[in-house]
Structure 1
C-alpha cells in the first residue's frame, strides 16, 4: 500500500508541476535562510563545548586599582591550591613566535603553557599522550593544521623545530623544541586559537615580591569541583588577596578585610565562567570574543519569520488547487479508500516536498559554507554535517515540519463530501473542514505582516548604518599611517623629525593608544570638588598630535602653542610654589562636566592639571557607545613605556609617503617595518555593522520572495474559485480593467491589514534594537511610508499576471458547463 501511495504522490506532482515547483522553491528558500541562521546561532553558542569540564572551568580575572584585566599575576599559581574547591589550575602566556625548519622561517600563534594545560583544556590528541605531552620543558604540541603546514603530515611525533628565544636579540639564537603531540582539530569553536603549545618551566618564587602581584601578564584558569559557584570562588580568592597582596601593597601593614575591599589600591581576583566571558564580561583583553547579543537576536527573529512565511506559503499552495483534485478524491472514495488512507497519502506528499526542499536547502547552505563567501553577511564555519547532535536535530525538524505544514492540507483534502464531488460542485462546497479560504487569507496576512516588518527593519537598519558612516568622528583617519617604531627605542624622536624633509608627509605625532583599539590604559580620576571626582579616559600625545589628526579647538590651544611642559604656581610675594600643574586638553564632553565651556583657563580643583584648551568631541571606542569625557596630556619621552607608543604620520600621497618612510627606516633599523592605515580599525568596526545589515537584507529579500510565492498561490486559488463569477461579469459587460480592479481589491485589503499589524510590532522591536546605539536615528513617518510603497509595488508585480489572466478570461470557456 505504501508503494502504491508513493506512486500516487509522484503522479500528483506530474499533474501540477508548476504548482509543486513554486511550493518547493518557496520552502527551499525559506529553509535555506532558517538553516543558515540557526547553524550560525548554534555555532556562536557552542564555544568551548568540546571540553568535558566546560561548566567547571573558570577564568581567574584580575582587578588592579579599579581596572579589570583578563590577565593576572603569575604568582597566583603558587597559592591557588590553598582553595579546597580548586581541582586543576593552569596559566599561560600568548605569544607570536618565529621558528626555523629546514632553513625556512615560519611564524606561529603560540601559548607558553605549564604542564597542566591539557588537564584543564582536555583536547583530543591524534598523536601523543595528553597526560605527559607537556610535562617536559621545551616540548610542543601542534595543531593538525600547523603540523600539515610545517611537515605536510600529522605524523610529526618526536621531530624537532627551532624556536627563536624570547630573550634573543636576533634570529640566530634558536632553542630546539621537540614535538610531543598533535591536537585533533576541535569540532566546536573555542576562545583558544593557537598553532602550537610550548611547555615552559615556571620557577617558583616563595618570596612573592610586590612586582609579582601588581601586574597582569598571564592568563589563569582553574577547574573547580562540580557545582562550585563563582561567588564561592570569589570569596576564597578575596581571602588570598587579603593574605598575600594587601601586605605587599601597604609595605607590610595589615588592614582589615573590609578596609582592603574598599581600598583605592585594592588588587584581587574574581572568576568568570566560560559562558559569562562570552556574554556581558567587562574584563579587558579577554581571549573569548564577546557575543553580539543584539545581532543574534535580530538574526533569530529573521530566521523565525522566514520559517513562518515558508510554512504558511506551503499550506497556501498545497490547498490552492483543491478543485483540481476533487475528482481524484471522489474516485478514491468510491473505490473504497478510507479517510485515513487519504490523509496518509497527502501527508506522504507533504513529507516528500519537505524532504526534497530540506535537502536542497542544506545543499545551498553547505555550498555557501564551502565557498566561504561573505555574501550573506554572516560567517559560518560549521558544516551542516558538523555533529550528530545537529544532524539528529535536522531529522527531527523535518518530521516536525512535515506534521506542522502538512496536517491541515491533508485533513482538508481528505474531507471531501462525496455527494458534492459527484455533483461536480465547487471546492468550497466539496471540502468541509474549517474554512480553507479564510485560512489562506489569514496566512497571507500573517506572511505579509512578517514581510512588512522585515522591510521596515531593513530600511531602518540601513538608515542607522548610513548615519554612523556619514557622521563626523572628529578627525580624519583616512590619510594617516600608523607605524610601529618600538625597535627604534631612543631614536624615535630623531626618526619622527627626519620625516619632515619629505614633501609627501605633512606631519607626525606619537600617541599612547590607538582609537578603536582595545586599550589597557585605565581611566584617570580628576577631582572636581572636595567631594566629587570624575573618571576620564586619557590620551598622552605629543605637540603635533592635533595638527596631524586635523582636530579643531573650541577654546584655547594645544601643546604646540604652549610654552614649557608644566605650569608652576607662584605666590603673591613672588616665591615659587612647589606645586606643578601639567597642561591638559579636554574634549567638549569633559569640558561640560568640568564647567570649562565658558572659560577653559578656569583653575581645576585637581592640583595636578591646568586646562589650556577644549578640543572637539571625537569617537575613539565602540561605534555604538556615546563619546566619553577625555583628558589629553602632553607626551614626554622618558622611560621604556614610550618605546611602545605608535607613530601617526599624516600624508598627502600615500604611495610616495610609504616609499619615503621605508627608505628612512632602512637608515635607522634592519628590522621589518610595520605600517598600517589608521582607518583600518575604524573601517573594521563599520564593516561589522555593514555585515549585520547585509545579513538582514539578504534574508529579508528571500523571505519576501517566499511571501510573494504564497500570495501568487492565493491568487491562483482565488482565480480558480471565482472563474465562473468573472465569466458572468464579462458577459454582463465588465471590462478587463474592471475585472483586474475587482480581482486585486480583495488582496489589497489583506495587505493593508498586514501592514497595519506590522507597524506596532516593528516599532517595539526596532526601538529595542536602536537602543543599543547611543547616537541613533528616529523612527520617522517616512520610514513607514517608504515601506508601504515598496510593499504595494511588490504586491502589484506579484498579482499582475493573475489579474490580467482574470480580466482576459473567455466566458465561452468558463461557462460552457453551466
Structure 2
C-alpha cells in the first residue's frame, strides 16, 4: 500500500511541475531558515552546560544604589567567596576570577612579546568548580603556588610550538615571570567567559579584604540538594556582619543610616547556565547574549515555517478542482476516505522530504555567511549529532503532517456524484480559510519589515548621535605601557608627524575599557546624601582636547598650574549629584584605603559637558578626570586623508622605540560600534529573514494568482470581447489579493508596535516609533504583493480571447 502511495505521489508531483517547484522551493527555504535559527538558538541555550557540576554552580551578583547611581554588577567583594565557605556548610567550594585585560606575553629569552587578551587571575580551586580538563599538570596544585600559570593548548602551541611547556618560565607584562604549571584543553566556545591564561591569585596585586569594593567574579559550588533560594537570605546577615562594620569604619555611619539616606546594597545568586542569556549586569567577563533575541529568532523561525506551510495548504486546496474528478473516480471504484487521506498525506510528506533535502543543501551553502552574521562558529555536522538529529528527523514529518492535513481532509471530503457532475466550487471568493491564511502570511511579513526598520533606525541613531565627544578620526594605539618611561617620547614623536593634530595617553577611554569606581564627598562631609559614586579616570593634560570634549565651566588641566596634580574635572552628572551650584574651587575627597582610613582631597577646576562613556542602554552617570600617569593606550586625533600611510609612519615610530613589542591599533569609531555589535547583527539577520519570509509569501501568492487567472480564463475572455481594457482586467484580478494585504497591515501594525516598544525599552536613549515606519512597511508589502500578482494578471489580461473561449 505504501509503495503504491509513493508511486502515485511521485507521478502527481511530476505532472504538476510548476506548483511542485513552488511548493518544494518555498518549503525548502522555510526549513532552511528554521534549521539555521535552530542551530543558533540551541547554541545559545548550550552555554556553560559542558560543566559537569553546572546545576550546582552560581555566581554572586551585586545591586548597589549609592551617590546617585543605581549599579548592577556581575562582581562582588573579594572576601565574599572565602566567607561564604567558612560560615555556611552548604557551600562546597568557591572560586574567584579577576580579569586583568590585555598583557604582553612571551617565553623567557624570546625577543618579542605577543599581545594576549583576557589574562585572568584565579584561585587554586578553579578546577574544583569548573570542568576544565588538563592535558598535563595536577589540578590540585596547578595554581596553589605563587608565580604559576595554567595555559591552554592553543596558547602552548603559539608560544612553545611542539616543545613541552611544563615548568617553562613565561614573562607577563615585561616584568612578571610565571612558571607553566599545567596545560588545559581550550575552553569551549559556548562558555560565558574564556581565557588562555590563568595566573595564581596569590600574585594578584590587590588590597585584599575590601568589603566595600566590588572587583571579583565570585562563583559558588553548592553541595547537592541545597535550597539555593533559601540560602540567598543569608546575604542579609553577610551585609550586617561584615559590610556594616567596614561602612562604619569608612563613613562613620550604620547600615540603617545608609539605607535611610536612600541607599541600598544587596547580593543575589544567578545560576551558571543563566548567565549568558539572563544576566544584564555591568562588568561581565565577556559580552553576553540576550534571551530576548532567542525568543525573537525562535518566533521568526516559526513564522517563516508557518508561511511556507500556509503556501502548501493554499496551493493544494486551490488546485482541488483539478483533482476533484480523481477523488470522485477513486471513491466510485471503492476507495475509502482513510485511503484517500493516506494518499494525500503521503504526497505532502514526500514533498516535505524533497524540500528537506534541498534545505540541507541550502544550509550547507548559507552557514558560513550566517556564522559571520551571527558571530558564531557552527558546523553543518552539528545537524547529525545526537543532540540535533531527532529534531532533524522529526521536522519534515511534523511539517508534512501540518502542511498536508487540511488539504488531505478537504480533498477526501468531496462527494463523488457532485464532483463527477462538475459542481465543485472552489472559487477564490468562497475560500475564506485560504484568504485568512494569506492575511496571516503577510501580517507576519509586515511585522518583520517594521521590526527591521526600527532596529536599523535605532542603530543609525546610536551611530550618529552626538555622544559628547568627537570619536571620528581618533586612532588609538594599544599597549603603550610596554614602553615604560618612553611612552611620552613616543607621543611627542607621533605628534611631529604631518596629519596628527593632538595626542593623549590614558588607560581610560569612552569605549569598552577599564573602569574605576570610587565614592566621593564634599570636603568635611560624610553625609550620605552629599556623596557620589563615580568613575575616576586618570588622564593627561591633552585628554579633553584630543577627544573633543566640551568644558562648560572652569578650565582644562595645564602644566602652567602645578596645583593641578590635586585638581579634578567633573562631568555635569557628578556636579548635579553633589549639589554644587558653583562647583569651581570646591573641594571633594575620597578614601584611598578603607582599612588605613587614608583619603585624598581634590579641588574642582572644571566641569565637562556630559558625554556617553558607556552603552546608550544606560543613563550618563557621574564621572571625574584626574591627572595620572596611566599609560594603557595612546589616542591621536588625525586629519590625514591617507590614513594607511599615517598608520605605517606611527608603526615605524613604535618600532624605533620598542622593536620587541607588537604594534596594535584601532579607530575609536570601531571600538564604539563594538558595543552595539549584537544589535547590528540582529538588524542584519532580521533583514535577511524578513526578505526570505516575504519571498516565501510571494511564492504562494504567485501560485495562487496563477491558479485564479487559470480558473477565470473564460470570464476574462468574455470581458475582453465585451470591451474591457487590459487595465480593468488587471485591477479585477489584483483587488482581491490587495484587500487581504491591507487587512494584514491593519492587524500587524499594533503587534509590531508593541513588540518593538518592548525591545526599545532596553535603551535609555532611543528613537520614537513613528507612523511613517508602518506606512513604509505597508507600502513595501503592497508593492511587493502587487508586483507578484500583476505578473500573472497582465499575462491573463493580454491573452487572446479567442483562444481562451475556444479552450473552454
Aligned position for 2:48? 48
CA deviation after TM superposition for structure 1 residue 22, in Å:
0.5
Instruction: Give the match for residue 500 of structure 2.
Output: 505
> For the residues of structure 1 that align with 2:613 and 2:254, how far apart are their CA atoms?
40
Corresponding position of 1:463: 457
Q: Deviations over 1:497-534 (max 9, x none)?
A: 55544444322223452112144311544559964545
Equivalent position of 1:80 in the other structure: 85
CA distance in 1, matches of 2:108, 2:4: 67
C-alpha spacing 1:230/1:648, structure 2 compared with 1 (3 Å):
farther
Instruction: Name the CA distance, whole Å, in 1 between partners of 2:346 and 2:109.
Output: 63
Aligned twin of 1:397: 395
> What is the distance in 2 between the residues matched to 1:81 and 1:381?
43
Q: Following the alignment from structure 1 to structure 2, what is the Cα–Cα distance between the partners of residues 510 and 149?
A: 30
8 Å contact from structure 2 (residues 730, 797) kept in 1 = yes
**1:575 aligned residue:** none
2:130 equivalent to 1:121: yes
Tell me which of 784, 788, 794 is aligned to 2:778.
788
Q: Please name the residue that 1:521 is paired with.
A: 516
Q: Is the 8 A contact 2:442 2:744 kept in 1?
A: yes
- TM-score w.r.t. the length of structure 1 is 0.82
User: Separation in 2 of the partners of 1:163 and 1:706?
Assistant: 60
Change in 2 beyond 3 A, CA 1:345/1:218: same
Equivalent in 453, 457, 461 of residue 447 of structure 2: 453
Mapping 1:447-596, distance limit 5 Å: 447-483=441-477, 484-493=479-488, 495-497=490-492, 499-522=494-517, 524-526=519-521, 531-560=529-558, 563-565=561-563, 582-587=567-572, 589=573
Q: Select 1:776's aligned residue among 762, 766, 783.
A: 766
**Which residues of 2 match residues 129-144 of structure 1 at below 5 A?**
134=142
Structure 1, 733-742 or 97-106: larger mean CA deviation = 97-106
Aligned equivalents of 1:797, 1:253: Cα separation in 2: 72
Residues 309, 268 of structure 1: alpha-carbon distance in 2 compared, 3 angstrom cutoff:
closer
Whether contact under 8 Å (1:73, 1:213) holds in the other structure is yes
Q: 2:741 aligns with which of 718, 737, 751?
A: 751
Tell me which residue corresponds to 2:4: 4
The answer as to 2:384 corresponding to 1:379 is no
CA distance in 1, matches of 2:249, 2:668: 44
Q: 1:238 to 1:51 in 2, by over 3 A?
A: same
* 1:355 alignment partner, one of 341, 353, 356: 353
Residues 378 and 692 of structure 1 are in contact (CA less than 8 Å); yes or no, is this contact kept in structure 2? Answer: no
C-alpha displacement of 1:222? 2.6
> Which residue is 1:570 aligned to?
none
**1:721 aligns to 2:711 (yes or no):** yes
Gaps of 5+ in 1: 568-580
Q: Could you tell me which residue of structure 1 aligns to residue 624 of structure 2?
A: 632
TM-score normalised per structure 2: 0.83
| Pair 1:660–1:220, CA change in 2 (3 A) | same
Cα pair 1:278 1:288 within 8 Å, conserved? no
CA distance in 2 between counterparts of 1:609 and 1:12 reads 86
After TM superposition, give the deviation of residue 26 of structure 1 in Å.
1.1
More moved, 766-775 vs 736-745: 766-775
Q: CA deviation at 1:197?
A: 6.2
State the 1:762 CA deviation. 1.8
Q: CA deviation at 1:196?
A: 6.4
Residue 732 of structure 1: aligned partner: 722
| Deviation for aligned residue 1:287 | 2.6
Change (3 A) 1:265 1:160: farther
Q: Could you say what secondary structure the match of 2:635 adopts?
A: strand
Q: Which residue of 1 aligns with 2:191?
A: 190
Offset from partner CA, 1:130-158 (integer Å, 9 cap, x none): 977959979987756667778999xx9x8
Asked if structure 2 preserves the Cα contact closer than 8 Å seen for 1:347 and 1:410, the reply is yes
What is the 5 A alignment of 1:38-437? Answer: 38-60=38-60, 68=73, 70=75, 72-73=77-78, 76-77=81-82, 80-91=85-96, 98=105, 100=107, 116-123=125-132, 134=142, 160=166, 162-166=168-172, 169=175, 175=179, 177=181, 183=185, 186=188, 189-195=190-196, 219-236=217-234, 271-279=269-277, 281=279, 283-287=281-285, 289-370=287-368, 373-374=371-372, 376-377=373-374, 379=376, 381=378, 383=380, 384-385=382-383, 387-428=385-426, 437=431
Partners in 2 of 1:480 and 1:201 — Cα distance? 36
| 8 Å CA contact retained: 2:49, 2:273 | no
- TM superposition shift of 1:296: 3.5
Distance 1:132 1:561 in 2: 53
> C-alpha separation between the residues in 2 aligned to 1:253 and 1:230?
33
Among 615, 621, 636, the residue aligned to 1:622 = 615
* Post-superposition offset of 1:83: 1.9
CA distance in 1 between partners of 2:633 and 2:285 (Å): 23
Contact 1:320 1:713 in 2 (8 A): no
Alignment of 1:9-48 (within 5 A): 9-48=9-48
Distance 1:143 1:396, change over 3 A: farther
Change (3 A) 1:389 1:678: same
- Return the alpha-carbon distance in structure 1 between the equivalents of residues 657 and 153 of structure 2: 40
1:772-794 C-alpha deviation (Å, 9 max, x unpaired): 33332222232233222222221
* Separation (CA, whole Å) in 1 of partners of 2:540 and 2:481: 16
| Residue 798 (structure 1) shift | 0.2
Q: What is the DSSP-based 3-state SS (H/G/I as helix, E as strand, rest coil) of the residue aligned with 2:612?
A: coil
1:71, 1:219 within 8 Å by CA — same for their partners in 2?
A: yes
User: What secondary structure sits across from 1:58 in the alignment?
Assistant: strand
Structure 1 SS opposite 2:423: coil
Q: d(CA) in 2 for partners of 1:798 and 1:49? A: 47
For residues 454 and 665 of structure 1, do their structure 2 counterparts lie closer, same or farther at Cα, with a shift above 3 Å needed? Answer: closer
Please give the secondary structure, in 2, of the residue aligned with 1:388.
Answer: coil
Kept in 1, the 8 Å contact 2:617–2:765? The answer is yes
Shift of residue 591, structure 1, vs aligned partner: 5.7
Task: Please tell me whether the aligned partners of residues 59 and 222 of structure 1 are also in contact (alpha carbons under 8 angstroms).
Answer: yes
Deviations 1:370-399 (A, max 9, x none): 46652x455352544274232223333332
Aligned length: 779
Equivalent residue number for residue 689 of structure 1: 679
C-alpha contact 1:385 1:391 (8 A) present in aligned 2: yes
Distance 1:79 1:32 in 2: 49
Residue 680 of structure 1, aligned match among 647, 662, 670: 670
* Root-mean-square deviation (Å): 4.5
Matching residue of 1:652: 639
Structure 1 residues 336-345 or 397-406, which shifts more?
397-406
The offset of 1:201, in angstroms, is: 9.3
3-state SS of 1:620 partner: coil
After superposition, the C-alpha distances for 1:16-38 in whole angstroms (9 at most, x for unaligned) are 11111111111122222222223
- 2:689 matched to 1:699? yes
Instruction: Say which is worse superposed, 673-682 or 258-267, in terms of deviation.
Output: 258-267
Deviation at 1:343, TM superposition (A): 0.5
